[in-house]
Amino acid sequence: MKGKHKIEVRSKRIVFTIELERNITILRGDSATGKTTLVEMLSAYENYGRKSGVTIVCDKTCRVLSGALWEAQLKDIQDTIVFVDEGSTFVSSLDFARAIQKTDNYYVLVTREDLSTLPYGVNAILELKKTTSRFKRTYNKAYPIYDSLSASNVQLGDVEKLLTEEANSGYQLFTKVGEKYGIVCISAAGKDNIKQKIFPLKSEKILVIADGAAFGPQMNDIYRLMQEASAKFSLYLPESLEWLLLKADLIGQSDILEILEHPADFIESSEFFSWERFFTNLLEQRTKDIPYMRYDKAKLPEFYLQEENLKKIIAEMK
Map out the domains of the chain with their CATH numbers: 5-145 (3.40.50), 152-316 (3.40.50)
CA torsion 254-255-256-259 (nearest 10°) is: 150
Sheet containing 5-10: which strands, arranged edge to edge? 55-57, 5-10, 14-20, 137-144, 125-134, 24-28, 106-110, 80-84, 61-64
Residue 36 and residue 140 in contact, taking contact as beta carbons nearer than 8 Å: no
Q: For 133-166, what is each residue's pLDDT tens digit? A: 777 788 889 999 987 665 567 788 889 999 999 8
Q: Is a pLDDT exceeding 90 seen at residue 80?
A: yes
Q: Is a pLDDT exceeding 80 seen at residue 176?
A: yes
Alpha-carbon separation of residue 186 from 18, 162, 182, 213, 303 (angstroms): 38, 6, 13, 21, 22
- Cα Rg of the chain (Å, integer): 21
Q: Is a pLDDT exceeding 80 seen at residue 255?
A: yes
Query: For position 78, what pLDDT does the model report?
Result: 96
What's the mean pLDDT in 71-87? 95
Residue 143 and residue 60 in contact, taking contact as beta carbons nearer than 8 Å: no
Q: Is a pLDDT exceeding 80 seen at residue 265?
A: yes
Query: For position 300, what pLDDT does the model report?
Result: 95
Residue 23, classified by CB atoms within 10 Å of its CB into exposed (0-12), middle (13-18) or buried (19+), is: buried
Q: Determine the length of the chain.
A: 318
Residue 20 and residue 142 in contact, taking contact as beta carbons nearer than 8 Å: no
Helix ranges, 54-107 (H): 70-75, 94-100
Per-chain mean pLDDT for the chain: 93
Residue 259 and residue 251 in contact, taking contact as beta carbons nearer than 8 Å: no
Closest C-alpha to 93, from 79, 74, 76, 77:
74
User: Half-sphere exposure of 61 toward its Cβ, with a 13 Å CA cutoff?
Assistant: 12
Query: For position 15, what pLDDT does the model report?
Result: 94
Among 28-37, 48-57, 172-181, the minimum mean pLDDT is found in 28-37
Query: For position 29, what pLDDT does the model report?
Result: 83
For 126-140, the DSSP string reads EEEEEEEEETTEEEE
Q: Is a pLDDT exceeding 60 seen at residue 312?
A: yes
Q: What percent of the chain has pLDDT over 70?
A: 98
Closest C-alpha to 116, from 221, 1, 241:
221
Q: What percent of the chain has pLDDT over 90?
A: 81
For 14-66, the DSSP string reads EEEEEEE-SSEEEEE--TTSSHHHHHHHHHHHHHHGGGGT-EEE-SSEEEE--
What's the mean pLDDT in 53-65? 97
For 166-220, the DSSP string reads -SSHHHHHHHHHHHHHT-EEEE-SSGGGHHHHHGGGTTS-EEEE--GGG-HHHHH
pLDDT bracket for residue 291 (50, 70, 90): very high
Query: For position 148, what pLDDT does the model report?
Result: 65
